[in-house]
A and B are shown apart, each in its own frame.
Chain A
Amino acid sequence: MRAFCAEERARTPVLAGACDRLRTPRPLGPFAEIAAGAGGRLQESFSRTDERPLEALAEHLRAQGESIVVVEDAHWADEATLDLIGMLGRRIEQLPALVLVTYRSDELQRSHPLRILLGDLATAFGVERLQLEPLSAAAVARLAEPLAIDAEALFAGTGGNPFFVTEVIASGGATIPPTVRDAVLARAARLEPEARALLDVVAVVTRRAELWLLEAIGEGLDALDACVASGMLRAERDGVAFRHELARLAIEESIPPRRHALLDAAALAALRSPPDGRLDLARLAHHADGAGDSAAVLELAPAAAAAAARLGAHREAAAQYARTLRHGAGLPPRERASLLMARAVECHLTDDHWTAIGEAREAAGLYRELGDVAGEGTAKLKLASLLWCASETAASESATDEGIALLDSLGPSPELARAYEQASSRAMNLEQAEAAFRWGERLLELGEHVEPRTFVAYLNDTGTMKLLLGRRDEGRADLERSISLAVEAGLDSDAGRGYIHLGWAGARIRDFSLDGLLEQGIDYCAERGLELWRLYVIAYRARLQLDRGRWDDAADAATYVLRQPHEALLLRLLVLTTLATVRMRRGDPAADELLAEAARIADGKGDLQHLAPAAIASTELAALAGDADAAAEASTRVLALAHDRGAVWVVGELALWRRLAGIDEPAPAGIPEPYALQLAGRGGEAAEAWRRFGCPYEAALALADASGLEELRRLGAGPVKDALARELRERGERGIRRGPRASTRANPAGLTSRESEVLSLVGEGLRNAEIAERLVLSTRTVEHHVASILRKLGARTRAEAAARAAQVR
């Protein structure tokens, strides 16, 4: 990498930055370094946290013409840096830049944020991953030979890891140290005492040590040349750095605790007055913590946390708050409570629900002791939403009630409006329509106390509820208004939530007219980096595609979402059931495995969002197997819940599969028309109604005649098609085919009608591109057809095929 940059630097500007292994990394650390290197406007925008870093960087890159951007050691990156890398990756085709990101794959655990980013970028255009292979035994031997080192033992001891190998070789290699630490320490020990001491300082101040900083810490720079000459350090712009981060770690860990704390204190003092006057809060807090200087931590860490949160680096923000609280045993209760709430918010944003719940509980208790009713009420409501996320429905409900009672006693306020919205949202999620609308009305009565964001959420709650109840136009209008207000106000995730809810309710009531809006939502979420939101919209859209008979598209989308690394169980459940339904309808294997996992996720949940998809798919599978017991087992409890919540589409679908599974029971009242007609035995009318909705599979099932069979064949249905074909044959209907399309069988060469069409154009001497244009197909499809024609006719060339076709005719 370094050699490449050195070579390119002559022709192309290189912007380089690296991530540090701080316990709480500096937000946008490497990009700040890049901006500092670039100077000018870019540096200006990065020093102001209110600007969007992507825009500033993109602008700079476009102005440069062509450039190379390097981000090293991304496995230690903060979230803001990862977000920015992701956004660069998704736009890389539009930027005149080569972005090189390095990371150590052995540093990535299963849910490491970088892994998620890599998965996300796997399908992006213009993004490539280069796997760095370990050195081969032969390569190690070649490196070891000039020094007469036992190459076999070296390869065995290092596994070919280039760093280990070069480190061991550089240390003289008389013997092979068991670990790289020993190698590094052995090499450091060969330095003069001053140089060795300076190495400690550089190790403590993390990856890049500025010269002014080393000078200020005051252990003397005289030995610096010796350190660089030894190869342990390398000179950088205005500073030095370890040649490898692992070496720095080995040195840092070897420093006795007291000396380490003293060096941290010295670094802290020096960093408080940097020559350019720009305070690096994350770095300051890191050294304050290391120095055991609680007063400094309390001063610096909350500010570092707030700065990280502003940049979207929530994991770092939560860690900075945790650091503050660790040092804050003696803080006054009010300050402690507000820090606890701040940490709860950040932990919530990083899915660490149980930590967040603990902090919110403690905060609520402190506010109560203080007699601060507003504080306690707000803390209770935060606690309620955290408990909701952790699926603690009952506890969440009582916390909401307590919070609302506390705030209510203080009269109208924005907090009270937010509390009503939260209650409305909770009721809507449980599909308790009456409560959802009631809380919404109380919210509107608060008038000017309702903040814009609360109003956006209110519109979402009522709109979603209306849509779920089948009030299509009203619901859609509310949700669209909620989204456009959110977009205008820059409330990205609220807009994303609007799109998700359009998908959720739209899939429930089979409103295919929402497809365009959902596609727009997918683009919107992608642009704003709302990855999880984007996947949810894709998942709901996949369900709509399945119900419109686009099974390939539905299976593709579901598979895509399943392959993305994320921890959202509802999302997984949605795509598991969609893919399972495609498989069972085709007669493909392993639908039951997918449903078993979906059932495990839904187990113990109390809302139809989780329960309905799992129950519906399992009941359909039971219907295909004609297993009435399994159908009852899968659906009875959820059917009662759906009935209770007025979820008529869920009731209708469950009732249909139960009937087809052989459960003999009267049709429930109030279900949507096509289900009612079908269950009443009026198949023809039901099929007509299904066609109006745009659901071909259901229409074909309702029809159960020869044209229904044809439709099932077209869709690629398996078991249901076979059963219907058998039934029709037994009934003595004519014209029921056993094999592929009748037209194929009629053609003596076994060509499909499309292939015959292509062949006749081949006979006219047209090229593939011309045929594609004539038949409105892609050239690739035409190529496939031509290859298939050649195969079926046993012809080697197009001319031969055309001649053979003429003979057959």
Chain B
Amino acid sequence: MPRYVVERTFPSGLAIPVDAAGAQVCLTVVDRNADEGVTWVHSYVSDDKRKTFCVYDAPSPEAIRKTAQRNDLPVDRITQVSVLDPYFYRSE
């Protein structure tokens, strides 16, 4: 399954509390993603919490957009990516 980085902007900042309610929010997102075969791997959040870079495994960009809509999450850009591991390269 292809991997994607999804960039999102939250003008007033993203705040998921680190408690039971926050966990519930994340689980709800994960559940809705499952309907479309989309897996939220993890996200990077900018320090001002206005921008996120989310790593997803998904069957297609359309599936990511659909789950974003259901979860009421904005989408700025979807980029298909693959892993580059700097320590994989060796000098002979």
Measured in the bound complex, the distance between the Cα atoms of B77 and A587 in whole Å is 7
Measured in the bound complex, the distance between the Cα atoms of B16 and A788 in whole Å is 11
- The answer to whether B11 and A791 touch across the interface, beta carbons within 8 angstroms, is no
Q: Nearest chain-A residue to B10 (Cβ)?
A: A750
The answer, yes or no, to whether A787 is at the interface (CB within 8 Å) is yes
Measured in the bound complex, the distance between the Cα atoms of B10 and A788 in whole Å is 13
Residues from chain B with a CB closer than 8 A to the CB of A749 are 12
- The answer to whether A745 and B61 touch across the interface, beta carbons within 8 angstroms, is no
Measured in the bound complex, the distance between the Cα atoms of B65 and A579 in whole Å is 14
Measured in the bound complex, the distance between the Cα atoms of B16 and A794 in whole Å is 7
Tell me whether chain B's interface is mostly helix, strand or loop, or mixed: mixed
- The answer to whether B9 and A739 touch across the interface, beta carbons within 8 angstroms, is yes
Residues from chain B with a CB closer than 8 A to the CB of A588 are 61-62, 65, 78
- The answer to whether B61 and A744 touch across the interface, beta carbons within 8 angstroms, is no
Residue interface mask A782-800, B partner, CB < 8 A = 1: 0011011011101110000
For residue A808, give the distance in angstroms from its CB to the closest CB of chain B: 11
Q: How many residues of chain B are within 8 Å of chain A by beta carbon?
A: 27
Residue interface mask B16-32, A partner, CB < 8 A = 1: 11001100010010000
Residue interface mask B49-81, A partner, CB < 8 A = 1: 000000000001110011000111010011110
Interface size of A as a range = 20 to 34
Interface core residue of B10, B16, B62 (most chain A CB under 10 Å): B62
Which of A755, A784, A791 is close to B70, meaning CB atoms less than 8 Å apart? Answer: A784
- The answer to whether A784 and B21 touch across the interface, beta carbons within 8 angstroms, is no
Residues from chain A with a CB closer than 8 A to the CB of B74 are 740
The answer, yes or no, to whether A748 is at the interface (CB within 8 Å) is yes
The answer, yes or no, to whether A343 is at the interface (CB within 8 Å) is no
Residues from chain B with a CB closer than 8 A to the CB of A559 are 60, 62
Q: Given the interface contacts A589-B4, A744-B11, A745-B11, does A788 sit within 8 Å of B61 by beta carbon?
A: no
- The answer to whether B17 and A794 touch across the interface, beta carbons within 8 angstroms, is yes
Q: Nearest chain-B residue to A583 (Cβ)?
A: B61
Q: Given the interface contacts A590-B80, A784-B72, does A750 sit within 8 Å of B61 by beta carbon?
A: no
- The answer to whether A718 and B61 touch across the interface, beta carbons within 8 angstroms, is no
For residue B28, give the distance in angstroms from its CB to the closest CB of chain A: 6
Q: Given the interface contacts A749-B12, A796-B21, does A788 sit within 8 Å of B80 by beta carbon?
A: no
For residue B76, give the distance in angstroms from its CB to the closest CB of chain A: 9
- The answer to whether A718 and B77 touch across the interface, beta carbons within 8 angstroms, is yes
For residue B52, give the distance in angstroms from its CB to the closest CB of chain A: 14
For residue B27, give the distance in angstroms from its CB to the closest CB of chain A: 11
Measured in the bound complex, the distance between the Cα atoms of B61 and A784 in whole Å is 21
For residue A35, give the distance in angstroms from its CB to the closest CB of chain B: 42
- The answer to whether A750 and B62 touch across the interface, beta carbons within 8 angstroms, is no
The answer, yes or no, to whether A656 is at the interface (CB within 8 Å) is no
List A residues 545-579 near B (Cβ within 8 Å): 552, 555-556, 559, 579
The answer, yes or no, to whether A586 is at the interface (CB within 8 Å) is yes
- The answer to whether B65 and A586 touch across the interface, beta carbons within 8 angstroms, is yes
List A residues 765-793 near B (Cβ within 8 Å): 784-785, 787-788, 790-792
Residues from chain A with a CB closer than 8 A to the CB of B84 are none
List A residues 700-759 near B (Cβ within 8 Å): 716, 718, 739-740, 744-745, 748-750, 752, 755
List B residues 1-49 near A (Cβ within 8 Å): 2, 4, 9-13, 15-17, 20-21, 25, 28
Which of B16, B25, B80 is close to A589, meaning CB atoms less than 8 Å apart? Answer: B80
Q: Nearest chain-A residue to B64 (Cβ)?
A: A588
Measured in the bound complex, the distance between the Cα atoms of B4 and A552 in whole Å is 19
Q: Nearest chain-A residue to B61 (Cβ)?
A: A588
Q: Nearest chain-A residue to B80 (Cβ)?
A: A589
Q: Given the interface contacts A740-B9, A744-B11, A787-B28, does A589 sit within 8 Å of B61 by beta carbon?
A: yes
Residues from chain A with a CB closer than 8 A to the CB of B60 are 559
Q: Given the interface contacts A589-B78, A589-B80, A794-B21, does A788 sit within 8 Å of B72 by beta carbon?
A: yes
For residue A101, give the distance in angstroms from its CB to the closest CB of chain B: 26
For residue A746, give the distance in angstroms from its CB to the closest CB of chain B: 10
Residues from chain A with a CB closer than 8 A to the CB of B61 are 583, 586, 588-590
Residues from chain B with a CB closer than 8 A to the CB of A555 are 62
List A residues 319-369 near B (Cβ within 8 Å): none
Q: Given the interface contacts A586-B65, A589-B61, does A740 sit within 8 Å of B11 by beta carbon?
A: yes
Residues from chain A with a CB closer than 8 A to the CB of B12 are 745, 748-750
Measured in the bound complex, the distance between the Cα atoms of B21 and A796 in whole Å is 6
Residues from chain A with a CB closer than 8 A to the CB of B25 are 787, 790-791
Residues from chain B with a CB closer than 8 A to the CB of A740 are 9, 11, 74
For residue B3, give the distance in angstroms from its CB to the closest CB of chain A: 11
Measured in the bound complex, the distance between the Cα atoms of B28 and A672 in whole Å is 49
Residues from chain A with a CB closer than 8 A to the CB of B28 are 787
Residues from chain B with a CB closer than 8 A to the CB of A750 are 10-13
Residues from chain B with a CB closer than 8 A to the CB of A792 are 15
For residue B92, give the distance in angstroms from its CB to the closest CB of chain A: 34
For residue B65, give the distance in angstroms from its CB to the closest CB of chain A: 7
- The answer to whether A556 and B62 touch across the interface, beta carbons within 8 angstroms, is yes
Measured in the bound complex, the distance between the Cα atoms of B15 and A749 in whole Å is 11
Q: Nearest chain-A residue to B74 (Cβ)?
A: A740
For residue A328, give the distance in angstroms from its CB to the closest CB of chain B: 51
Residues from chain A with a CB closer than 8 A to the CB of B15 are 792, 794
Q: Nearest chain-A residue to B77 (Cβ)?
A: A587
- Which 9 residue pairs across A and B have the least CB separation, nearest first? A588-B61, A750-B12, A589-B80, A788-B72, A555-B62, A791-B25, A739-B11, A796-B21, A745-B11
Jot down 23 A-B pairs with beta carbons below 8 A, ordered by A. A552-B62, A552-B65, A579-B62, A582-B62, A586-B61, A588-B61, A588-B62, A589-B78, A589-B79, A590-B2, A590-B61, A590-B80, A740-B11, A749-B12, A750-B10, A750-B11, A750-B12, A787-B25, A790-B21, A791-B25, A792-B15, A794-B15, A796-B20
Instruction: Identify the B interface with A (CB < 8 A).
Output: 2, 4, 9-13, 15-17, 20-21, 25, 28, 60-62, 65-66, 70-72, 74, 77-80
User: 12 more A-B contacts (CB under 8 A) besides A590-B80, A794-B17, A796-B21?
Assistant: A555-B62, A739-B11, A740-B74, A744-B11, A750-B12, A750-B13, A752-B72, A784-B70, A785-B72, A787-B72, A792-B15, A794-B15
